[in-house]
Amino acid sequence: MSQKNKFVYAFEQFGRSFLLPVSVLPGAGIIKGIGTAFSNSDTLKMFPVLQNQIFQFIMKFFITLGDTAFNHLPIIFAVGVAVGLAKREKGSAALSGVLGFIVLHSVLNFLLVQSHSLVDTSKLSSAEAKLAMANAMQTKVMGIQTLDLSVFGGIIVGVVVFFVHRWAVKKQLPALIGFFSGPRFVPIVTIVAMAFVSVILFFIWPPIQQGISVMSVFILKSGPLGTFLYGLVERALLPFGLHHGLNWPVRTTELGGTWTINGERVVGTINAYLASLADPNITSIDPSITRFNGGKFVYFMFGLSGAAYAMYKTADPKKRKVVGSLLFAAAGTAFLTGITEPIEFTFLFVAPILYIAHAFMAGTALLVMHLLGAGVATPTGHGFINLIIYGVLQGPKTHWWLVFIVGVPCFILYYYVFRLLILKFNLKTPGREDSDEVKLSSKKEAREKLGVTINQVGQDNSNNDLHPEDQALLNSGTAMKTIPDSPEGIYQQALGLIAAHGGPDNIEEVNACITRLRINVKDKAQVDKDTIVHQLGALGFAENDMQMQSIYGAHANVLKMEIQDILGMEE
């Protein structure tokens, strides 16, 4: 396989690992969106009937359920990416993902305390504490006050765990501490690796945040061009969780603008919008108030739906039913509630060129709505539910109909742009993967993609032999060595064990406990016990029915994984 193909393959695997955590979001988004829409104070004022205690209890319960996923999205990504990228021992990868995430934020908290940078919230109300932490780009994660890395922090952890896992999972430690070899070694190394990564992030993240603040001021002061740039940059920052540093000041501070409404000075776009809705003398809302807001309804509701439809139409026809359930649920979440992460993350890392196109079209949607004089906005959630509440029900002063007039062409634009890019560059969006199913790649698929012929254990392999080099070593008998101390030696020892157990056709299952390599065979008469003990370094040998048990101490698990790799066996 060429270097280019290896890079493409690795990037596809990286992108596909995001499907696991992303699959959690559509359902959680719809549940939270419904709860939020029917329990906020403005909705209750307009529809007093919704103030029923039982109904409000249910709506608040919905919000809690939705927040369970969205408030812990970073750790979900840390575990999801680590598990998605790991080729074996996924349980070890998952544990290391959780541990690495805790280490990251614990170390950042320690460094903030030691550098006297931690915002003191002990004497502040909940709202004041959130504002103070937001201004300092800090937040609380699992009860730990830390830097606000958002989902990006989880992705960093997942990637670090992947590299640690790949290196450490087969490491054989000295006999004295041999118990900690293999999968047990991964979490230990993860602690050390994430400590170093955390220190690096502590120093590089503040300059990144400062650069964003400077860029934000420039965008806000540059007229219609600034409206376009705002939409472009805001979407570009979303994957890193840095879009809050752009949105929060615009919505609530003078950076968003200053207006005099009903004789009072109002700062921030959302404050000005709500004040404009409450002023009966205002018959048309100033589009300068909503220029960073109104266009979001267009691409949240219509644009991303067009993107989902394009991915659906370009998917393999055999996979469309499965693909449709993922894409349309994610698009429905964006359309109804304005929560876009499920659909955006579906293509963000699998095909980043689509996300770049999305960012440009999002900026264009904001610009067009600004130039047309749209006056519709919402405090949060640019979906259909909030469009009804904050747009349609507020009357003609919001010019809410522009959302639909611009939205339909936006749907078409997104559809054709996504379709063109997917087909032109053969992007591996959902349903276009090389595998037969819409799922994470298995070890078997990975080996096939690397051009390695796989022996199917327990089946007729007359036309599906081992890799020629593997077969040659098996036939020569040169693989039968004592305990090795190098990857090449482990590989040869594993080949020797395969031969000593009657070859691939005789092996049904390979497993290991703490000290024993356990291989289930079809015919135990073909097993060469003497070779296993005297030439292949086993400390002892036992059998339990058709299961052959070779005692190798902590080295047993390393041999298990090597044999599984050679035979193309799944965990």
**CA 83 vs CA 72, 74, 437: distances in Å:** 17, 14, 18
Among 198, 223, 248, the domain boundary falls at 223
Whether 494 and 354 map to the same domain: the answer is no
Torsion region of 456: left, alpha or beta (phi above 0 gives left; psi -120 to 50 gives alpha) = beta
Q: What is the pLDDT of residues 204-249, one digit of tens each?
A: 888 877 776 676 667 667 788 989 999 998 898 877 656 765 776 6
Q: What is the pLDDT of residues 354-383, one digit of tens each?
A: 999 999 999 999 999 999 999 998 877 789
State the Cα–Cα distance between residues 39 and 51, nearest whole angstrom. Answer: 8
Domain assignment present for 282:
no
Q: What is the pLDDT of residues 494-527, one digit of tens each?
A: 888 999 999 998 998 888 876 788 899 999 899 9
Domain assignment present for 461:
no
Residue 532 has pLDDT above 80, yes or no: yes
- Give the SS3 label for residue 311: helix
For residue 36, what pLDDT band results from cuts at 50, 70 and 90?
A: low
Domain assignment present for 233:
no
* Tokens representing residue 93 in the block: 């990868």
Whether 423 and 486 map to the same domain: the answer is no
For residue 561, what pLDDT band results from cuts at 50, 70 and 90?
A: confident
Whether 438 and 475 map to the same domain: the answer is no
Whether 437 and 487 map to the same domain: the answer is no
Whether 508 and 446 map to the same domain: the answer is no
Domain assignment present for 318:
yes
Domain assignment present for 274:
no
Residue 514 is classified by DSSP as S
Q: How many domains does the chain have?
A: 3
Among 223, 238, 258, the domain boundary falls at 223
Q: Which of 152, 147, 131 is nearest to 78 (CA)?
A: 152
Among 189, 223, 257, the domain boundary falls at 223
Range of the domain at 504: 468-567
Residue 150 has pLDDT above 80, yes or no: no
Whether 496 and 389 map to the same domain: the answer is no
Whether 493 and 557 map to the same domain: the answer is yes
The residue whose two tokens read 């998952």 is 94
Mean pLDDT, the chain, as a whole number? 80
Domain assignment present for 314:
yes
Residues catalogued as catalytic: 513
Domain assignment present for 508:
yes
Whether 76 and 124 map to the same domain: the answer is yes
CATH of the domain at 515: 3.30.1360.60
Q: What is the pLDDT of residues 78-108, one digit of tens each?
A: 998 888 888 777 888 899 999 999 999 999 9
Whether 538 and 503 map to the same domain: the answer is yes
Rg (CA), the chain: 29
Mean pLDDT of 461-468: 44
Q: Which of 406, 333, 444 is nearest to 22 (CA)?
A: 333
Whether 390 and 523 map to the same domain: the answer is no
Whether 157 and 217 map to the same domain: the answer is yes
Domain assignment present for 265:
no
E strand or H helix that includes residue 368: helix 352-371
Residue 440 has pLDDT above 50, yes or no: no
State the Cα–Cα distance between residues 416 and 436, nearest whole angstrom. Answer: 26
Whether 172 and 202 map to the same domain: the answer is yes
Per-residue pLDDT at 468: 53
Q: Among positive and negative, which fits the CA dihedral 271, 273, 274, 276?
A: positive
